[in-house]
Structure 1
Amino acid sequence: MPESPGPESPEPGPETAWERRRRLAEVFGDTLPETTSDERDPAPTGGTGTGESATDRWLKEQVPPHHG
């Protein structure tokens, strides 16, 4: 006796890129930006005028005095 295909629908055709992105965004959320950090303008310096980022300032503040 041949097996019946069951309640599943036939396999869909190939999905387009935007359909795949939409499906993945539904499952995982929109986690990756469209551009990479080297393609974007650098973040503002926070008004210090030194060209130092907030992360760099924080790291320098965490250095123990005997390493300074």
Structure 2
Amino acid sequence: MFIRQVIGELRKVVTPTRKELFRYTAAVVAFVAFMIPFVTLVDLGFGSLSSLIFTGPIGDN
């Protein structure tokens, strides 16, 4: 029963064309290329902010 259902579901799977595959790949690469610097900047910003909150301004020793 289960195997029959799996085979039935696998028959519904549509394989993307070569053009669609390249388009999807380009979209993922562009998204990752945008997110890496964004997350890096947010992380650096929160790190600097927490440093200011917990240790005070730099050179304030």
Report the TM-score when normalising by structure 1.
0.27
Larger radius of gyration: 1
Larger proportion of helix: 2
Report the TM-score when normalising by structure 2.
0.29
Indicate the structure whose relative CO is greater, using CA pairs within 8 Å and at least 6 residues apart. Answer: 1
